[in-house]
Amino acid sequence: MAFIDRGLRAFRAAAAALAVCMFALLGAPAATAAEVNVYSIWPENWARPMFEEFEKATGVKVNFVRFSSGEALARVVAEKNNPRIDVLFGGPVETFAAGVPQGIFESYKPPSFDKLPERFRESSGQWVAIADDPLVFMTNKKFLAEHKLAPPASWQDLLNPVYKNMLQMADARTSGTAVTRIFSILEVNGRDENKAFAYMKQLRPNVQLYTKSGGGGTLPVGIGQAGGGIFFIVDALDTKAKGYDVAISFPKEGIGTSAEAIALIKGAKNPDTAKKLIDWATSAQMQSLFAKYKINFVPANPEVKVEPSLAAVLQGAKIFPIDAKYAGANRKQVVDRWIAEVLNP
């Protein structure tokens, strides 16, 4: 059946060539010897410029498709015996941690490995972090004005009854954002699980919707269908950059942050170019480009400075890393408890 597929590809090439003639918009993809196949969990508008820069720097062509973290992981697991890609790129560490026991990654330690703080790397090199992403409170300014409120500056502020049924945040079943949020709440409550869950249950009536993806609530908050929520800073700043009138604030008790990672796929067909991409992505070369493309991740590589306007937002914010060991050991139990006691009381 492969020949049919080749035929179809040839047909598409012809169609593409025709399109070039007609629109002069699309260049036929140049055939390069070196390439690397990637599933990107980062949205295309961040991943594409990164890969284009990589191509410019190394001459290696990146073929990629974008999937949400869950879909990407489900695919890599299903393709385990005959991998289709070489690198899994971007996406919260939780996703990568879930992939490790499935045996889908090949350990690889890029040159930057030893420079990275411990929480930005899996000890045997199953994954390595490329960025850091703190959580923030994001609120709709019109909503705040209507209720004469200041942006929430404490976890307790979110319990205010004016937020009743007006907050959106991620669902812990599907979103790393939510897991980071829950561990933040555990942390500010001194890891006293009962106290933390009492808070979450108290917050429950104010939650309008637990969204599937971490950024799912940004648009509703932006247009005012929801009053506010808890999001990663990249999503929040992106909402603001789009022109939505939102306020970004941090709780005085502190809030957690989660790393974004990259990993080599076991049985990768292009291991050399894959390693090249991982070397590049974990180095200052890629992470110093975040600012140029207005990607508001905090670089994981300590050699790269945080971009000034992002640094200004983060100024004075109390941000703590989630202890990977503690989170790893308790994740399933805590999420199960969240489903049973908070989501479906």
CB closer to another protein, 306 vs 335? 335
Sites for another protein among residues 261-320 (CB under 8 A):
none
Asked if 41 and 70 touch (Cβ cutoff 8 Å), the reply is no
Name the one range near another protein by CB under 8 A: 53-61, 73-81, 151-159, 288-296: 73-81
338 interacts with another protein by CB under 8 A: no
Count of residues engaged in binding another protein, rule: CB under 8 A? 72
Name the one range near another protein by CB under 8 A: 152-160, 172-180, 253-261, 279-287: 172-180
Residue 167: phi, psi to the nearest 5? -105, 145
Distance CA 282, CA 270 (A): 18
Nearest approach, Cβ of residue 54 and another protein (Å): 16
Q: How many Cα atoms are found within 13 Å in the side-chain-facing hemisphere of 268?
A: 26
CB closer to another protein, 67 vs 113? 67
Gyration radius of the chain's alpha carbons = 21
Member of 10, 32, 34, 45 binding another protein (CB under 8 A): 45
Query: Any bridge partners for residue 37, and if so which?
Result: 63
Member of 51, 60, 61, 85 binding another protein (CB under 8 A): 85
Member of 60, 61, 66, 149 binding another protein (CB under 8 A): 66
CB closer to another protein, 127 vs 251? 127
In three-state secondary structure terms, 321 is strand
Name the one range near another protein by CB under 8 A: 40-48, 185-193, 270-278, 304-312: 40-48
Question: 2 is written with which tokens?
Answer: 């492969």
Return the number of other C-beta atoms located less than 10 Å from residue 180's C-beta: 27
Distance CA 263, CA 331 (A): 21
Nearest approach, Cβ of residue 20 and another protein (Å): 10
Task: Give the E-state strand segments of the chain in sequence order.
Answer: 35-40, 61-66, 87-92, 105-106, 128-140, 167-170, 207-211, 228-232, 246-249, 255-265, 298-299, 319-321
Nearest approach, Cβ of residue 335 and another protein (Å): 8
Member of 10, 77, 145, 311 binding another protein (CB under 8 A): 77
CB closer to another protein, 293 vs 318? 293
Nearest approach, Cβ of residue 315 and another protein (Å): 25
Distance CA 193, CA 80 (A): 37
Q: Which amino acid is at 199?
A: Y
Cβ-count burial of 3 within 10 angstroms (0-12 exposed, 13-18 middle, 19+ buried)? exposed
Sites for another protein among residues 46-65 (CB under 8 A):
48, 63-65
Q: How many Cα atoms are found within 13 Å in the side-chain-facing hemisphere of 208?
A: 18
Asked if 213 and 68 touch (Cβ cutoff 8 Å), the reply is yes
Nearest approach, Cβ of residue 161 and another protein (Å): 12
Nearest approach, Cβ of residue 57 and another protein (Å): 21
**Going residue by residue from 188 to 227, which x/- string records binding to another protein, judged by CB under 8 A?**
-------------------xxxx-xx-xx-xxx-xxxxxx
Asked if 86 and 269 touch (Cβ cutoff 8 Å), the reply is yes
Member of 10, 32, 34, 44 binding another protein (CB under 8 A): 44
